[in-house]
Amino acid sequence: MANTILITLGPTREYIDPVRFISNASSGRMGKALVVEALKQKCNVIVVKGPSDIDISNNKKCKIVDVISAKDMFLAVKKNLKFADIFIGAAAVSDYRPVKIAKNKIKKKDIGFDTINLKLIKNPDIIKYVALHKGKKIVVGFALETKNLLSYAKTKLKEKNLDMIVANGAKTISSKDSAPTLIFKDGKIKKLKLTSKEKVAKEIINESIRIFKTVKTC
C-alpha cells in the first residue's frame, strides 16, 4: 500500500480588515516540489495549501485543501492527519493574527493619529500539535532563520519532537534554488549543496520515507 504524505505549503493570511492582511513572501515553490516528488514516488498526497499562485492539479492521488489563515490550516491538518503516514510542514505559517478583524476598511481619517496599534494573538502551533499526536507518523519541519540557523533549527527539532528538520537561510524565500541542511532526530546532519528546489524535494521525500520504513519495522 502506498504511503500517504500530508504536506502544508505556501503562506497564510491573517486579515486586519476586509482588504489588508499580515503575511510573508513565501511562494509555495518548495511545497509544490515536494508534492510533485511524492507523486513521482507513487505516494498518495494530501495538500493543505495557503494562498499563492502555485498551481497543483487535483487528482485521485492528490487531494488539495485550500485555506487562508493559520487557523484554517490548523483545522484542515487536524481533519486530515489521521490519513497520513508522513507529515511535512513546508508552509510559512503566521505566528500571530489580529485579535479583531475590522468589519470595514480602516480609514486614516477615522483613526485621527499618525500611528496605529495593532493587537495580535498567537496562532495555533500546527507542527507542535502534529508531533504530539504523531504515533508512528514521521513529522518533518522547516526552520528559516536570518541568524544562528543550525542552533535554532536543532532547538526546534528537539522541542517539537520532530524526526527531521530542514534548515534554510532567508535567501531561499521565493528562490528557485536552495541549499538547506537536513538535521535528524538521531543527531545526523546532512548539508546539501545549492541546487534546485526540485532536487532538494527529492532528498526530503527520500529521507522521510526512509525514516518511516525504519520506524514501521521497529
Q: Which residue range forms the structural domain that includes residue 55?
A: 4-216
pTM more than 0.75: yes
What's the total number of domains in the chain?
A: 1
Query: What are the two backbone dihedrals, phi and then psi, of residue 20, each rounded to the nearest 5 degrees?
Result: -125, 145
Beta bridge partners of 45: 5, 62
CB distance 56 to 38 below 8 Å: no
CB-based contacts of 97: which residues, under 8 Å, 6+ apart? 14, 22, 69, 70, 71, 120, 121, 123
- Which residue type is seen at 182? L
* Catalytic machinery residues: 24
Q: In CATH, what number is assigned to the domain containing residue 126?
A: 3.40.50.10300
User: One digit per residue, pLDDT tens: the chain, 218 residues?
Assistant: 569 999 999 999 999 999 999 999 899 999 999 999 999 999 999 999 999 888 898 888 999 999 999 999 999 999 999 999 999 999 999 999 999 999 999 888 777 677 888 999 999 999 999 999 999 999 999 999 889 999 999 999 999 999 999 999 888 887 899 999 999 999 999 999 999 999 999 999 999 999 999 876 65
